[in-house]
Amino acid sequence: MESGGEKRRVVVVGGGIAGSLLAKSIQFNADVTLIDPKEYLEITWANLRNMVEPSFAERSVINHRDYLTNGRVVTSAAINITDTEVLTEDGFLIAYDYLVIATGHKDPVPTTKMDRLNQYQAENQKIQSAHSILIVGGGPTGVELAGEIATDFPEKKVTLVHKGSRLLEFIGAKASDKTLSWLRSRKVEVKLEQAVDLNSTSDDSQVYQTSTGESIKVDCHFLCVGKPLASAWLNETTLKTNLDKKGRLMVDEYLRVKGRSNIFAIGDITDIPELKQGYLAQRHALVVAKNLKLLMAGGKESKMSKYGPGSEIALVSLGRKAAVAQFPFTTISGFVPGLLKSRDLFVGRTRKQMGLQP
């Protein structure tokens, strides 16, 4: 039980997979407030499927209220923190005993689930009505989008332009090679070491210039470049000295912000030396949930659970049936890794973990 009978106030900033799972896990042990600028949790690795099949988003976009039945949701961005309170953009001061920062990456998406679902409908319409599509960026988002379109709309001409020398630079070169072969076998035209000048086109011409002087004529484009970390808001706060040069929060082995006894950080925002992956963010959340329960029950700090960095496992889907998977000692692609991720994109599993119908 929490000491003193009163429930401790835990404020979680960020309603991505890390913050949401943490808030859900401790909601009956603490007085929980979740602060997020949007009303919903989005299973981000389903985003590209949502664009080719908008109804898929009905399961992967989840109102915070659906799983946080015993906590408070504040729909606003956090803009400042002190040693005792969080200030939100719409002017609320929320006091905490324990604070968890989980703001991950910045992604300006609509506030309501309905608007997000409508956005997927509009993106789907854009794909449906185009004969030729340009994808800018060959990281996981660009590759997964190319895979989805090539699978569901094989008649469309897809061109993917990436400024790096290989696709999926966040993982090994073998995964890049296998991905490139798969995309080319599906008639996706991949151009490496070129940047697209998005200002080079007008609505009428739809001809894009690349940095090597090529012209690409398409009906529409999707910008799939990496998103920045959502940590700039911390620059003027009490945690400004806890950010590393990349803007990540430095944490100890208990996932506490270094030097802080009651502030934790989880998910992509942390400086843990591992791939930034949702399944690892989920593990962070469960470790911190355990540690908070222990501390709130008056347990000793020395009994807290430690987190060790995860191994370099990553799965990138290539349409509905195939994927490329990097494991510590091997990289495989095709139907077998596709069985792991690509059919349901872990949506059922994630919903179950959040206490919802798969």
Ligand X SMILES: Cc1cc2nc3c(=O)[nH]c(=O)nc-3n(C[C@H](O)[C@H](O)[C@H](O)COP(=O)(O)OP(=O)(O)OC[C@H]3O[C@@H](n4cnc5c(N)ncnc54)[C@H](O)[C@@H]3O)c2cc1C
Binding site for ligand X (CB under 6 A): 13-19, 35-38, 44-45, 77-78, 102-105, 140-141, 144, 230, 233, 267-268, 276-279, 281, 315, 341
For residues 267 and 319, which CB has a smaller minimum distance to ligand X in the complex?
Answer: 267
Closest by Cα among 189, 193, 243, 241 to 217: 189
Look at residue 170 and give its three-state secondary structure: coil
Q: Check if the beta carbon of residue 92 is closer than 8 Å to that of residue 75.
A: no
Residues in the chain: 358
For residues 124 and 141, which CB has a smaller minimum distance to ligand X in the complex?
Answer: 141
Look at residue 36 and give its three-state secondary structure: strand
For residues 19 and 138, which CB has a smaller minimum distance to ligand X in the complex?
Answer: 19
Q: Check if the beta carbon of residue 209 is closer than 8 Å to that of residue 348.
A: no
> What is the CA angle 254-234-34, rounded to 5?
65
Q: Considering the complex, what minimum distance in angstroms separates the CB of residue 304 from ligand X?
A: 21
Q: Considering the complex, what minimum distance in angstroms separates the CB of residue 145 from ligand X?
A: 8
Q: Considering the complex, what minimum distance in angstroms separates the CB of residue 80 from ligand X?
A: 10
For residues 49 and 201, which CB has a smaller minimum distance to ligand X in the complex?
Answer: 49
Q: Considering the complex, what minimum distance in angstroms separates the CB of residue 164 from ligand X?
A: 16
Q: Considering the complex, what minimum distance in angstroms separates the CB of residue 229 from ligand X?
A: 8
> What is the CA angle 11-12-14, rounded to 5?
145
For residues 109 and 294, which CB has a smaller minimum distance to ligand X in the complex?
Answer: 109
Helix, strand, coil in percent for the chain, rounding step 5: 35, 25, 40
For residue 14, what are the CA distances in angstroms to 126, 245, 251, 329? 30, 21, 17, 34
Q: Helices 278-296 and 17-26 sit at what angle, rounded to 10 degrees?
A: 30
Q: Considering the complex, what minimum distance in angstroms separates the CB of residue 268 from ligand X?
A: 4
Q: Considering the complex, what minimum distance in angstroms separates the CB of residue 8 from ligand X?
A: 20
Which of 299-307's residues contact partners 24+ apart within 8 Å by CB, and which partners?
301/254, 301/261, 304/254, 305/254, 306/253, 306/254, 307/253, 307/254, 307/255, 307/272, 307/283
* Beta bridge partners of residue 111, listed in sequence order: none
Handedness of CA 274, 275, 276, 282 (dihedral sign): negative
Q: Considering the complex, what minimum distance in angstroms separates the CB of residue 300 from ligand X?
A: 28
Indicate the pairing of strand 132-136 with strand 220-223: parallel
Q: Considering the complex, what minimum distance in angstroms separates the CB of residue 278 from ligand X?
A: 3
Q: Considering the complex, what minimum distance in angstroms separates the CB of residue 357 from ligand X?
A: 21
For residues 11 and 201, which CB has a smaller minimum distance to ligand X in the complex?
Answer: 11
Closest by Cα among 306, 284, 303, 283 to 294: 303
Look at residue 338 and give its three-state secondary structure: helix
For residues 110 and 355, which CB has a smaller minimum distance to ligand X in the complex?
Answer: 110
For residues 141 and 201, which CB has a smaller minimum distance to ligand X in the complex?
Answer: 141
Q: How far apart are the first and last CA of the chain?
A: 31
For residues 5 and 108, which CB has a smaller minimum distance to ligand X in the complex?
Answer: 108
For residues 128 and 235, which CB has a smaller minimum distance to ligand X in the complex?
Answer: 235
